[in-house]
Structure 1
Amino acid sequence: MKIIAVIPARYASTRFPAKLMQDLGGKTVILRTYEAAISTQLFDDVFVVTDSELIFDEIVFNGGKAIKSIKEHESGSDRIAEAVENLDVDIVINVQGDEPFIDAAPLEKVIEVFKNDTSKQVDLASLMCEIKDEADINNPNNVKVVVNQDSFALYFSRSVIPYPREVNVGVRYMKHIGIYAFRKQALLDFYSLPMKSLEASEKLEQLRYLEFGKRIKMVETNHIGIGIDTAEDLEKARKMLL
């Protein structure tokens, strides 16, 4: 089973323009993320896929592997699918470009799902963690997921799910963490399928997979990624390297 990591890297960012090309301890954020992915030693290969000449050149100049997007894409899945369409690969791990402090443990967990899935019942694997603070549960920026008894995703939402009409019944609120592992075919199917109403309403691409019958295995973790979404996040990251 050939497993690769793909790091989708857009230059534009609404909250923090050009964040992936910012300096982080003498290297750009995207280069540190790329090197961190390689250093996990979990992957047969690692690629950055980008719409930006600057990011492409940054990776290639430093001896890395990059793929230039040909089309404009609305989602990370679309960008990755185009990149891997002609690659000989079984499992594709989506690594976030703005998380340079990669923890290997949660990545190992999603890879293990496919190693154990001998009957190939799983199309995607992803991560979730429990949240208990009421503000976190109600925050629409925290995507919630509900699962069945076998930990397959039933639905993702920015709303509070399940709705707490009854309290003290043992409900746990689970936050979705956006690390994905895909079977290649699931990605290619996503690429050819249209956006439907649930995805359009919630602005969550994982709902397209569910709407078209793909099975997403969720794995619980305590890992919370350290992303760089703002200039303040970048300063915190710089201090972590000292």
Structure 2
Amino acid sequence: MSSTHTRVIGVIPARLASTRLPRKVLRDIAGEPMLAWVYRAAQACPQLDEVIVATDSVEVQQLCDQRGWRCLLTSPDLHSGTDRLCAVSRVVDADIYVNIQGDEPLLLPEHITAILALFTSANVDVTTPKVRCAPEDVANPNAVKVVTALDGRALYFSRSTIPFDRDDRGNATYWKHLGLYAYRRAALERFAALAPTELELLERLEQLRLLENGISIYVAETAHDTIGVDTEADLQRVEAILLKRQDAKV
């Protein structure tokens, strides 16, 4: 980053009309709404100048107002969190926008710091994190895997197990992709203007739209895994982890 200040904004898309786990961003986890855990972690990241919740719900907006969080009401017709991020970028000026998933209550400030650290090069336009894949997630299609080039650029993201250990050598390293992204403004605007691509639609992975259009994504390694909450079972797993964290602090 240059010597002039680079303005970095964290945006938390918080759609209330989720399908698999209804109203999940407002569900209670260890005494707090899920969204509160995400917001608190983002607010604790020193590299963020501001954190904004982008929602389609007046109810979520009311929670934000009660907590003193900045919130922007966005159209319920927007299809993805990235679309909400783009909507925020049109009314709030910044150099870099961080898409912080509203259903990742195990998020840590370190996750955001890791992907922002990659912007030291002017060639880097989009960044995201990876973590070593737990054995139980290697074949799990809900745990997205990523393979990278030697310089850290993502080669491919897949729900399949990649790389494939053809000779069964047993020493392959698998990396799980975590759904957190940072974009320079121009890259975000370009992403929003692109039509969905074939690989994106096949894998149901939005980031493949960038790779198919020649936009590089650089990947930062983190030691901290997260769990995206999509089901009741996910919520219970996350709550157990957060309660343990709270006990450890006492």
| TM surpasses 0.5 | yes
C-alpha change, 1:169 and 1:121, in structure 2 (3 Å) is farther
TM-superposed CA distance for 1:170, in Å, is: 5.3
The match for 2:3 is: none
TM-superposed CA distance for 1:70, in Å, is: 2.5
The match for 2:225 is: 224
Are the counterparts in 2 of residues 121 and 215 from structure 1 also a CA contact under 8 Å? Answer: no
The match for 1:13 is: 18
Are the counterparts in 2 of residues 31 and 59 from structure 1 also a CA contact under 8 Å? Answer: no
User: Which stretches in structure 2 are left out of the alignment for 5+ residues?
Assistant: 1-5
Aligned residues: 238
TM-superposed CA distance for 1:25, in Å, is: 4.8
User: Which stretches in structure 1 are left out of the alignment for 5+ residues?
Assistant: none
Residues of 1 paired with 2:73 and 2:62: CA distance? 10
C-alpha change, 1:11 and 1:153, in structure 2 (3 Å) is same
Are the counterparts in 1 of residues 130 and 222 from structure 2 also a CA contact under 8 Å? Answer: yes
Residues of 1 paired with 2:114 and 2:52: CA distance? 20
Residue range with higher mean Cα deviation, 137-146 or 164-173: 164-173
> Which of residues 83, 88, 94 in structure 2 aligns to 1:89?
94
The match for 2:175 is: 174
List 4+ stretches of structure 1 deviating above 4 A.
none
TM-superposed CA distance for 1:223, in Å, is: 0.8
C-alpha change, 1:147 and 1:231, in structure 2 (3 Å) is same
Deviations 1:128-160 (Å, cap 9, x if unpaired)?
122262x42221111111111111001111112
Residues of 1 paired with 2:190 and 2:87: CA distance? 11
Deviations 1:67-90 (Å, cap 9, x if unpaired)?
111351222111211121232201
Q: How does 1:68-217 map to 2 (within 5 A)?
A: 68-70=73-75, 72-114=77-119, 116-117=120-121, 120-131=122-133, 133=135, 135-168=136-169, 171-217=172-218
**Aligned partner of residue 155 in structure 2, secondary structure:** strand
TM-superposed CA distance for 1:226, in Å, is: 4.2
Are the counterparts in 1 of residues 81 and 101 from structure 2 also a CA contact under 8 Å? Answer: no
Residues of 1 paired with 2:124 and 2:25: CA distance? 32
Query: For residue 57 of structure 2, what is the amino acid of its counterpart?
Result: S
Residues of 1 paired with 2:55 and 2:16: CA distance? 8
Are the counterparts in 1 of residues 140 and 159 from structure 2 also a CA contact under 8 Å? Answer: yes
Q: Say whether 1:239 aligns with 2:240.
A: no
The match for 1:31 is: 36
**Aligned partner of residue 191 in structure 1, secondary structure:** helix
Query: For residue 73 of structure 1, what is the amino acid of its counterpart?
Result: L
Aligned-residue identity in percent:
38
Residue range with higher mean Cα deviation, 63-72 or 164-173: 164-173
Residues of 1 paired with 2:134 and 2:94: CA distance? 38
**Aligned partner of residue 110 in structure 2, secondary structure:** helix
Query: For residue 180 of structure 2, what is the amino acid of its counterpart?
Result: I
